[in-house]
A = this chain, B = another copy of it.
Amino acid sequence: MGRTAASGAERGVTMRDVAKAAGVSIKTVSNVVNDYEFVSDATRKRVSRAIDELGYSVNVSARNLRKGRSGIIALVVPDLQMPYFAQLSSLVITEAKKLGLRVIVEPTLYSREGELNALHGTQTGMVDGIIYSPLELGQDDVAELDVECPLVLIGERIFTDRVDHIATENVEGAKRATSYLLQTGCRRVAVVGVHPGETVGSAALRFQGYREALEESGVEFDPALVVPSVMWHRSDGERAMNDLLDAGVVPDGVVALNDMLASGVMHAIQMRGMNVPDDIAVIGFDNSDDSQYLSPSLTSIAPGLEAVARLSVRVLNDRIDGRLPLGVADGAHVFRKVASTLVVRESTRPLN
């Protein structure tokens, strides 16, 4: 009434109103609201009742101003629709909630500009910290990471000792995948989804792991078994596998650099009347949610996203609170590589 009824949030009932209604001072109301321990039960009750009756709720903006905090962090990712980042976001939000933080998700939509904007744009204010997972920025852009608020870097595109960094085991994971195929009897293992010429980023690192595994097992590297694909969609995997088979190259195992590629690879194999894993074993990467729903269900490398999420949020929270993250010297920065694990399902042959 009275007013234009505009004002979104509170109806205007403040601590002062509550104080008056309960016959106490503002400070006492504040104490109750913030669960300050030295408040007599009697007053606490009176105040609580007044709060309920007036429908009071604290004005978060005022609190933020006073405390110099917003309780909000930004999560910057390329694209919410990619299973990998959707899962990461989901986990980060869950983890943040545990620590009383809320998350603003900022998709940069694969644009360099978007990624820079998330760091230096006008919208930057009000977040206490940033979890940053770039796909476009590269090693040359290290300087851009120098921002006002704490920042935790995720991924394998940039390496620097100037910010906290949580990385995943791309090399090791791909190596483990390849080794597993070799151990289960594969001799001609193809790799699908390579980005020729790249030296940083998931594709390059995973391909490196593939090569290391071959080398370690004494299996000779065969360029004919390497299938490039810039995009990593299902149809790319299908096309890649068809190209390979059309060229007369028949592997007995395939390492796909992500699960969607793997899905397409399996489909191509099955469409030719061959069996996965008996004729050709297939292994994926990312252990995305639907790898278990494929048929056969897909053996995959789980990058440990839970750990990535947990660590990122925790480290960021420590920085925000001005604490040193666990196990880091003053002035130094966190660098953690999260262990990946092999999730064995039906698309590969058993170990014996």
Chain B residues closer than 8 Å to A127, beta-carbon distance? 9
Best-surrounded residue of A8, A80, A109, A234 (most CB of chain B within 10 A): A8
The oligomer's copy count stands at: 2
Stretch at the interface among A160-168, A186-194, A216-224, A288-296: A288-296
Cβ of A129 and Cβ of B8 under 8 Å apart? yes
C-alpha gap A90/B110 in the complex (Å): 13
As a 0/1 sequence over residues 60 to 84 of chain A, the CB contacts with chain B under 8 angstroms (1 = contact) are 1110110011101000000111010
Interface residues of A (CB under 8 A from B): 4-11, 57-62, 64-65, 68-70, 72, 79-81, 83, 86-87, 89-90, 93-94, 102-107, 109, 123-129, 148-150, 233-235, 238, 260, 264, 267, 270-271, 289-290, 292-295, 297, 320-322
Inter-subunit contact A293/B86 (CB<8 Å): no
Given contacts A59-B125, A65-B59, A90-B81, contact A5 B295 (CB under 8 A): no
Complex contact A293–B81 (CB within 8 A)? no
Give 14 A-B pairs besides A86-B86, A90-B107, A270-B270 with Cβ atoms closer than 8 angstroms: A7-B68, A8-B150, A9-B125, A9-B128, A9-B148, A10-B68, A60-B125, A65-B65, A72-B104, A79-B90, A80-B90, A89-B105, A93-B106, A235-B295
Residues of B within 8 A of A10 (CB): 68, 148
Which residue of chain B lies nearest to A70 when distances are taken between CB atoms in the complex?
A: B61
Q: Which of B11, B57, B292 contacts A125 (CB 8 A)?
A: B57
Chain B residues within an 8 Å CB radius of A295: 235, 238, 264, 267, 271
A257 to chain B, nearest CB (A): 16
Q: Is the CB of A103 within 8 A of B104?
A: yes
Between A and B, 16 residue pairs with Cβ closer than 8 Å are A5-B322, A7-B68, A8-B129, A9-B70, A9-B126, A9-B127, A57-B148, A59-B65, A60-B125, A81-B83, A234-B290, A238-B295, A260-B290, A260-B293, A264-B293, A270-B271
